[in-house]
Amino acid sequence: MQGCKQFITLCICPNNKERKQKPKRKKKKLANKEKTFQIPTMIETVFTSQTLTGLISDRKSFESITNDYFKILDLDGDGTLSPSELRKGLNRVVAVESEVASGEETDSVYEAIFERFGENLAPEKFRDLISEILTAMARAFGDSPVIMVVHSDGLIMKAVRHESEKGM
């Protein structure tokens, strides 16, 4: 289907009201300096299920994108993603809302993930996981275009940019 080109980013709207500045607190010194994520900008975008499946089927691009995320999420740099590394980072990669789901909800999602993919993910397993999440999203959205507010550096925006670059 060629019609996806039109479903590109509509507008940029930083979602300020949800980003209350937290008062600066002195962090206790941690044994290992943790990498921190930048607060992502939220972007409203329109895409279709093909935006997502298109990225997955472009193996080279998909591999390079998931490898980049893997490196960001692998905080201790040991080459696998531990449960805690995954929990800290996955939300930033695939979540579409800035609000985090309730603890219980998240717990059951992660339990299911660890059960299927194991507890320490190698890059290939991480790629399988991301591929499965995107496929599930694509299936859920069906054929109609979807409007969403997503992280500007998240996976959906990568898929949208990937699609618009290929379509040009």
Interface residues toward Ca ion, by CB under 5 A: 74, 76, 78
Residue among 6, 109, 126 nearest 66 (CA): 126
Q: For Ca ion, which is the closer residue by CB, 88 or 161?
A: 88
Read off the tokens for 62: 């998909």
Nearest distance in Å: CB 120, Ca ion: 7
Beta bridge partners of 151: 42
| Contacts with 73 (C-beta within 8 Å, 6 or more apart), sequence order | 81, 85, 86, 88, 89, 90, 93, 126
Q: For Ca ion, which is the closer residue by CB, 63 or 76?
A: 76
The DSSP call for residue 80 is S
If the CB atoms of residues 123 and 167 are measured against Ca ion, the closer one turns out to be 123
CB of 136 to Ca ion, least distance (A): 25
